[in-house]
Amino acid sequence: MNRIGLFLLAAAAVHAASVSNVTFNKQVLPVLQKNCQGCHRPGEAAPMSFLTYKETRPYAKAIKAAVAAKKMPPWFADSAHGKWANDRSLTAAEINTLVAWADSGAAEGNPKDAPKPLAFVDGWNIGKPDAEFEMQSDFTVPASGTIDYTYFVVPTNWNEDKWIQMAEVRPGNRSLVHHVIAYIRAPGSKWLADAEPGKAFVPRKGERRGEGSGEWLTAFAPGSMPERLEAGQGRLVKAGSDIVFQMHYTANGKEGKDRSKVGVVFAKQTPTMRVMTVASQNGKFQIPAGDANYQVDSTMTVTKDATLISFAPHMHLRGKDFEYRAVYPTGETQILLRVPAYSFSWQLTYLPEKPIVLPKGTKIECTAHFDNSANNKYNPDPAKVVRWGDQSWDEMMIGFFSVTVPVNPAQPRTDD
Ligand code: HEC
C-alpha cells in the first residue's frame, strides 16, 4: 500500500474513533435545539418531538436519512445569492454529527453534558402576547369538497394606534388549516363590508378579497415562523382597525372544527421604521397543459426609499423555481434570492442577514417557472390549462416582500 493509502486508513480510524464518542447530550442536542426544535416539539408543525433523548432515539435512523438528503431542515435558498439570518440549513459538521450518532448506536451519554433546555412559552413562539384575537366561533370543516377562502372579522376595539413588534397565528386545528393570513383592516375600509363580525364570511365572486384590500399583519402556513421585528421597527395598527382572518381550509376526509387565533406583542417604544408587506406579482398568466417549464414574470416599482427585510415567494403545486431581482435606478441588476427547487409544502420566509437598501425607483422583478407536466408528481392535472386562483389546483405567482420606511412624525400616514 502506498503512503497516501496508509494516510487515508489512519484518517478513517481517527474518524471512526471520534464517531463512536458522539452522544445525544453532548453533540446532538445542541444541533437539535438550534435547528430542529422550533418545529419538532409538542404543538408545532412536526409530527414528533425532539426535545428529549427518549423522544428522539426512535428517529435516529430517520434523522440520519433526512439530514444526509438535506430534506431536513426545510431550507431552499440558493447559497450562491445572499446570506440569511434565519438560515436553518446544517453545516457539513452538523450533518456528520447526526449521521455519526445514528451510525454508532445513538447513545444518550452523560446528562451533565447536556445544554440547558430551551425555554418555550407554551402555545406561543413570540412569548406571551400583549393581545389575542380569536375567531368568535368554531368553523366546521366538512369531510370533503372544496372550501372557498373563508373570512372572519375580529374588531380590535382599540381606541388608540398601536405598533406591533411580533405577531403569530396559532391554527386551531392543524389538520384542517392549510393557511391563515391575518390582515389589518383600517377603520372606514370598504373591504368585506358585508362581513358580520363573528360570522364566517365568503365573498361573492369578483369581490376584492386579498392583497391590496387590507394590510398584512402575519400569516401561518406549513414551515412558516412568526415574525420578530427588530427594536425600532413595527407594523402600525390604527385605532378602530379590525383583524381579518383569511382562512384556507382543506377537507381531510373527516369533518372537524377549527378556531384559530392571532397574538401580538406591542413595540416597547414608538418605532422609527414602519414595516409593510408588499408584492411583485402577476395574476395574468395561462400555463399551457403539459408545459414543463412555463415562465411567468412580474415587476413592481418601489415608490419611496425603502429597506427590504424579508422575502416570501408563493406559488402552488406546479411552482418550480422563483427568483427575485432588484433593478436599481442606476440600471444595475442584482439577484436577491433564488429558490431553485420550490416546494409548496414549505412556505418559508427568507430574512437577509443585511437589510437591502432600495432607493426610490428600484424595480423588484420576479421570475417563476411552473411545471405543468405529468413528470411533476404533485401536479393535480397535467391536462389542464392553469390560471390564477385561490385553490391549490389553481396557481399563484406572488413575490411577497417586507420593507421598512421611516416613520415621519409630521406626516404619520405613510401608507399612501
Ligand atoms: C420548519 C419546521 C421544521 C424544522 C426546522 C425541522 N423539521 Fe423535521 N419535519 C417537519 C415536519 C412538518 C415534518 C413532517 C412532514 C414531512 O415529513 O415533510 C418533519 C419530518 C421530519 C422527519 C421525518 C422523516 C422525513 O424525512 O419526513 C425527520 C427525521 C425530521 N423531520 C428531522 C428533522 C431534523 C433532524 C431537523 C433539524 C436538523 C428538522 N427535522 C427540522 C418540520 C421541521
Residue 318 maps to a domain: yes
CA 286 to ligand 1 centroid distance, Å: 34
* Atom of ligand 1 lying closest to residue 71 CA: 26
Contact 370, 322 (CB under 8 A): no
* Whether residues 139 and 265 fall in one domain: yes
* Whether residues 264 and 280 fall in one domain: no
pLDDT at 224 (0 to 100): 81
* Atom of ligand 1 lying closest to residue 98 CA: 35
Distance CA 21, CA 28 (A): 11
- Report whether the peptide linkage leading into residue 30 is cis, meaning its omega lies within 30 degrees of zero: no
pLDDT at 207 (0 to 100): 58
Residue 339 maps to a domain: yes
Last residue of a domain, one of 214, 243, 271: 271
Q: CATH no. for residue 150?
A: 2.60.120
CA 11 to ligand 1 centroid distance, Å: 32
Q: Which residue has the CA at smallest separation from atom 33 of ligand 1?
A: 72
Residue 416 maps to a domain: no
The ligand 1 site (C-beta within 6 Å) comprises 35-36, 38-40, 45-47, 59, 62-63, 66-67, 71-74, 88, 90, 223
* Whether residues 249 and 305 fall in one domain: no
Q: Which residue has the CA at smallest separation from atom 31 of ligand 1?
A: 72
* HEC profile of the chain: CCHHHHHHHHHHHHHHHHHCCCEHHHHHHHHHHHHCCCCCCCCCCCCCCCCCHHHHHHHHHHHHHHHHCCCCCCCCCCCCCCCECCCCCCCHHHHHHHHHHHHCCCECCCHHHCCCCCCCECCECCCCCCEEEECCCCEEECCCCCCCCEEEEEECCCCCCEEEEEEEEECCCCCCEEEEEEEEECCCCCCCCCCCCCCCECCCCCCCCCECCEEEEEEECCCCCCEECCCCEEEEECCCCEEEEEEEECCCCCCEEECCEEEEEECCCCCCEEEEEEEEECCCCCECCCCCCEEEEEEEECCCCEEEEEEEEECCCCEEEEEEEEECCCCCEEEEEEECCCCCCCCCCECECCCEEECCCCEEEEEEEECCCCCCCCCCCCCCCECECCCCCCECCEEEEEEEEECCCCCCCCCC
Angle between helical axes of 3-19 and 92-103 (0-180°, round to 10): 70
* Whether residues 301 and 261 fall in one domain: no
Last residue of a domain, one of 76, 97, 113: 113
Residue 414 maps to a domain: no
* Whether residues 90 and 137 fall in one domain: no
* Whether residues 169 and 247 fall in one domain: yes
Alpha carbon 194 to its chain's center: 30
pLDDT at 192 (0 to 100): 87
> CA torsion sign, 406 to 211 to 302 to 324?
positive
* Whether residues 164 and 286 fall in one domain: no
* Whether residues 399 and 299 fall in one domain: yes
Distance CA 309, CA 78 (A): 18
CA 347 to ligand 1 centroid distance, Å: 14
CA 72 to ligand 1 centroid distance, Å: 5
* Residue of 40, 76, 125, 345 to test ligand 1 pocket, by largest number of atoms within 8 Å of CB: 40
177-196 pLDDT, tens digit each: 989 999 999 998 888 888 89
* Whether residues 143 and 244 fall in one domain: yes
CA 50 to ligand 1 centroid distance, Å: 10
Distance CA 23, CA 10 (A): 23
CA 111 to ligand 1 centroid distance, Å: 25
Q: Which set of grid coordinates corresponds to residue 13?
A: 480510524
Residue 232 maps to a domain: yes
Residue 413 maps to a domain: no
Q: Which residue has the CA at smallest separation from atom 20 of ligand 1?
A: 46
* Whether residues 213 and 290 fall in one domain: no
* Whether residues 281 and 345 fall in one domain: yes
Q: CATH no. for residue 398?
A: 2.60.120.230
pLDDT at 62 (0 to 100): 98
State which residues form the domain around 370.
275-408
Residue 354 maps to a domain: yes
* Atom of ligand 1 lying closest to residue 225 CA: 1
Residue 86 maps to a domain: yes
Angle between helical axes of 60-68 and 92-103 (0-180°, round to 10): 150
pLDDT at 210 (0 to 100): 46
CA 46 to ligand 1 centroid distance, Å: 6
48-90 pLDDT, tens digit each: 999 999 999 999 999 999 999 999 999 999 999 999 999 989 9
Which amino acid, 169?
V
* Whether residues 133 and 261 fall in one domain: yes
Distance CA 411, CA 215 (A): 19
10-residue mean pLDDT series, the chain (416 residues): 42 46 96 93 89 98 96 94 93 96 96 93 87 96 91 96 96 92 91 88 66 80 85 95 94 95 95 94 96 98 96 95 98 97 90 96 98 96 93 91 84 44
Q: Which residue has the CA at smallest separation from atom 3 of ligand 1?
A: 39
**The total number of structural domains that make up the chain:** 3
Last residue of a domain, one of 113, 135, 165: 113
* Residue of 27, 37, 72 to test ligand 1 pocket, by largest number of atoms within 8 Å of CB: 72
